[in-house]
Chain A
Amino acid sequence: MTLLRTQNLSAFYGDFQALFGINVTVEQGETVAIIGANGAGKTTFLRAVAGAIESAPEMVVFDGQPIGDRTPHEIVRLGIAMVPEGRRLFPSLSVEENLLLGTHSERTGPWNLKRIYELFPRLYDLRHLPAPSLSGGQQQMAAVGRSLMSNPRLLLCDELSLGLAPVVIRDIYQCLGAITAEGATVVLVEQDINRALDASARFYCFQEGHLALTAPVKGFDRAAITAAYFGV
């Protein structure tokens, strides 16, 4: 079953066009990677799906419903949650308050505070600290946890690995398995190609706002991906 479909999705920042007719489909339960160089339009794509950039209604279809013109808070209520690039935790809130913020979507499901602390045990001991006092990796866990608290059907992850040590990145990606096991569909945006491809079944490669390449990960020549990535 198709959970998310974008049809000829274009997006603009003022006069600047950042996306040109992007067609992406994501099936229920799969993990899909979106890769591409800096400025390829990956973050813009996620923001358009999450409603932070408005588009025509039928350009973004979620679970059969056109949502391109909905506001972000309406889209969260439908079951799309985003882990924003750079984590964007609320600095004056404690870790636990940040997690609880995710419950404003009013959605119920497998995720609650207890389950988040089981997934990221280190957060439990830090739960009363202000969010900025955490390390980068711990903040990323809190940001993922906050989005999970809205019990999304579709989780959009923007640059989970940005600025983190390799060992921390490995920890966080290991948790993705537990997240998909609960039925969530995941779209990963990454500049770190190998990390994203290892976690995904299919990938889309963006290049300067256009879709350059899409294929299943398995058996695909990484040299061809690199070529699409750099546009050579």
Chain B
Amino acid sequence: MDWINILIQGGLLGGFYALFAIGLSMSFGIMRLVNIAHGDLIVLAAYVGLVATWYTGLDPFSTLAIVVPVMFALGYALQRGLLNQTLSGGLLPPLLVTFGISIIIQNGLLQGFGAYDHRLQEGSIETASLHFPGGLSVGVYPLVVFAVATLAIASLQFLFYRTRLGRAFRAVSDDADTAELMGIDNLKLYALALGIAMIFTALAGVLFGIRTIFAPLSGPIRLILAFEAVIIGGLGSMWGTLVGGMVLGLAQAVGAALDPTWQILAGHLAFLAILIVRPSGLFPRTRD
């Protein structure tokens, strides 16, 4: 049945949105930093991947070996050199500074690459699909991305709840002043947090760049989708973020099936509906 196919596609699309959202969720959870430039950083990662394919001849998957460390270093430096200075003055300074970074990235990319659409070409995996009895068919690539997103969230859960570093992240998130009094170097920890968040941003940028076109100004729509996934799932819950992404994906798939022009709108409507019914999201701040 077509509807089952639509729901499966929609759910798998949630894997992309969850990848978009992980970095945003981490920087808000740990630093209380609302990163307006998050969407543009995802696009920047795609461009880093694009340039890497030009100069090395590698396929996009393999360029992750370059894109991930580059984005980690960029995140660490950005937090250490700039964003740390904005954290003591309330919510507004980081908003303004990341808004500025967003504009700089967009215009830098326009300057460097022009206003053209680009795509990363991964070859046959993009169109391959698995066929199941009953007319079900599932794209291999969305399935791979969903698996990557699940694995990413599982490894973050492990980091947060099973390691010394994760314990420090949670402590700083709870009470930054007291964490500093216990011997944690908060500013260094924040830099590490944005670095790690950017690992997932790198994944999101490259994997989505294989699925769809990107251009210098495609960051803000990515940011909105990431925000919606985080809010639907509930702030602070990583598994909630995955569910939030799936809810968005499902709503978009259903909307698109009714009328192709409704795809994006349907996602936003689902987001608004959940905000009305459960303002704090589906799984707010759970200790899962």
Instruction: Mark A residues whose CB is within 8 Å of B.
Output: 50, 52, 71-73, 76-77, 81-82, 84, 88, 90-93, 97, 100-102, 104-106, 130, 146-147, 150
A73-B185, A93-B171 given. 5 additional CB < 8 A pairs?
A52-B181, A73-B186, A84-B178, A90-B178, A104-B164
Q: Are A76 and B183 in contact (CB under 8 A)?
A: yes
CB of B95 within 8 A of chain A? no
- Bound complex: CA A100 to CA B184 (Å): 12
Q: Is the interface of B mostly helix, strand, loop or mixed?
A: helix
CB of B168 within 8 A of chain A? yes
Q: Are A150 and B170 in contact (CB under 8 A)?
A: no
Q: Are B287 and A50 in contact (CB under 8 A)?
A: no
Q: Are A101 and B182 in contact (CB under 8 A)?
A: yes
Our pick among B173, B181, B287 for the contact of A82 (Cβ within 8 Å) is B181
Residues of B within 8 A of A90 (CB): 170-171, 174-175, 178-179
Closest to B172 in A: A90
Residues of A within 8 A of B173 (CB): 92
Which B23-79 residues sit within 8 Å CB-CB of chain A?
none
CB of B278 within 8 A of chain A? no
Residues of B within 8 A of A97 (CB): 167, 170
Residues of A within 8 A of B183 (CB): 73, 76-77, 102, 104-106, 150
- Bound complex: CA A71 to CA B188 (Å): 13
Name 8 A/B residue pairs within 8 A (Cβ), A-sorted: A71-B185, A81-B182, A93-B167, A102-B182, A104-B164, A104-B168, A130-B287, A147-B182
Our pick among A71, A82, A92, A102 for the contact of B174 (Cβ within 8 Å) is A92
Our pick among B167, B174, B175, B287 for the contact of A100 (Cβ within 8 Å) is B167
CB of B180 within 8 A of chain A? yes
CB of B177 within 8 A of chain A? yes
Q: Are A73 and B180 in contact (CB under 8 A)?
A: yes
Q: Are B174 and A84 in contact (CB under 8 A)?
A: no
Contact status of A93 and B181, CB under 8 A, knowing A88-B175, A130-B287: no
Q: Are A101 and B168 in contact (CB under 8 A)?
A: yes
Residues of B within 8 A of A77 (CB): 183
Q: Are B180 and A71 in contact (CB under 8 A)?
A: yes
Residues of B within 8 A of A104 (CB): 164, 168, 182-184
Q: Mark B206-229, 1 if CB is under 8 A from A, else 0.
A: 000000000000000000000000
Our pick among B164, B170, B182, B184 for the contact of A146 (Cβ within 8 Å) is B182
How far in angstroms is the closest Cβ of chain A from B155? 19
Closest to B161 in A: A97
How far in angstroms is the closest Cβ of chain A from B25? 15
How far in angstroms is the closest Cβ of chain A from B226? 23
Closest to A83 in B: B181
How far in angstroms is the closest Cβ of chain A from B212? 37
Q: Are B182 and A105 in contact (CB under 8 A)?
A: yes
- Bound complex: CA A76 to CA B179 (Å): 11
- Bound complex: CA A108 to CA B193 (Å): 27
- Bound complex: CA A71 to CA B187 (Å): 11
Contact status of A72 and B170, CB under 8 A, knowing A88-B175, A92-B287: no
Closest to A147 in B: B182
How far in angstroms is the closest Cβ of chain A from B148? 27
Contact status of A73 and B167, CB under 8 A, knowing A84-B178, A101-B179: no
Q: Mark B277-288, 1 if CB is under 8 A from A, else 0.
A: 000000001010
Closest to B184 in A: A104
Q: Are B182 and A93 in contact (CB under 8 A)?
A: no
Residues of B within 8 A of A105 (CB): 182-183
Our pick among A84, A91, A130 for the contact of B181 (Cβ within 8 Å) is A84
